[in-house]
Chain A
Amino acid sequence: DAGVIQSPRHEVTEMGQEVTLRCKPISGHNSLFWYRQTMMRGLELLIYFNNNVPIDDSGMPEDRFSAKMPNASFSTLKIQPSEPRDSAVYFCASSALGRSYEQYFGPGTRLTVT
């Protein structure tokens, strides 16, 4: 089975541009998580969905960040407008609700905003 798939793997953009990160969870998983990892703040949860519904978005830094999950096999994290301080690695993870809740991570997207 394929694991969690993220695209793009690397993104370099200029300040002010819109950035869209994409994630495909493991088939059959019904929880999806977006994390951000930086040297200063470590791994922090931005938002998670259960059954395509956002449950907790308290980690979303500000209104420039938004996330959607239009169906069970696809989610996006959008930053508009991007700023240099958004530079980080963004991970998507998925798990199966009602079973072990064990989370599996995608390879991450390394975002650089210049």
Chain B
Amino acid sequence: GIQVEQSPPDLILQEGANSTLRCNFSDSVNNLQWFHQNPWGQLINLFYIPSGTKQNGRLSATTVATERYSLLYISSSQTTDSGVYFCAVRTSGSRLTFGEGTQLTVNP
């Protein structure tokens, strides 16, 4: 099956810093989603981005499908950005395959 690798596995930032999270996948995909799992365990949809670039406030994402990677940018990080960021891809059918996540800690 498809492999999804996220990097870095852990990231510690000071409030106000910027960061880039990466997701590499081993095969062509039909869709790609970024999720944020907050410290309370909720999985929150950030982006549905099979290709191209999207922005939502301080967050933006870019997927280059031909090169099989996606990037999530967080600017001016806040403590509320802490949590785990997951990338998930769909190849065929409805199944999503998740990466192992990036654990982000933003310190005040």
Binding site for B on A (CB under 8 A): 31, 33, 42-43, 45, 48, 50, 55-56, 89, 91, 95, 97, 100-105, 107-108, 110
Q: Does B94 contact A (CB under 8 A)?
A: yes
Choose from A45, A89, A97, A100 the contact partner of B96 (Cβ within 8 Å).
Answer: A45
In Å, the complex CA distance between A43 and B30 comes to: 20
Q: Does B45 contact A (CB under 8 A)?
A: yes
Q: List residues 50-108 of chain B with CB under 8 A from any CB of chain A.
A: 86, 88, 90, 93-96, 98, 100-101
Interface residues on B, range: 10 to 19
Choose from A42, A101, A104, A110 the contact partner of B31 (Cβ within 8 Å).
Answer: A101
Choose from B31, B41, B42 the contact partner of A100 (Cβ within 8 Å).
Answer: B31
Using known A-B contacts A42-B100, A101-B31, determine if residue A31 contacts B45 with beta carbons closer than 8 Å. Answer: no
A103 near B33 with CB under 8 A, answer: yes
Chain A residues, CB < 8 A from B48:
100, 102
In Å, the complex CA distance between A97 and B95 comes to: 11
Q: SS class of chain A's interface: helix, strand, loop or mixed?
A: strand
In Å, the complex CA distance between A110 and B41 comes to: 10
A54 CB to nearest B CB, Å: 12
A95 CB to nearest B CB, Å: 7
Counting chain B CB atoms within 10 Å of each CB, the highest count among A43, A48, A56 belongs to A43
Q: Does B11 contact A (CB under 8 A)?
A: no
Using known A-B contacts A42-B100, A101-B31, A102-B48, determine if residue A108 contacts B94 with beta carbons closer than 8 Å. Answer: no
- Subset of 21 A-B contacts with CB under 8 Å: A45-B95, A45-B96, A48-B94, A48-B95, A56-B93, A89-B41, A97-B94, A100-B31, A101-B30, A101-B31, A101-B94, A102-B31, A102-B33, A103-B96, A104-B45, A105-B42, A107-B41, A107-B42, A108-B41, A108-B42, A110-B41
B43 near A105 with CB under 8 A, answer: yes
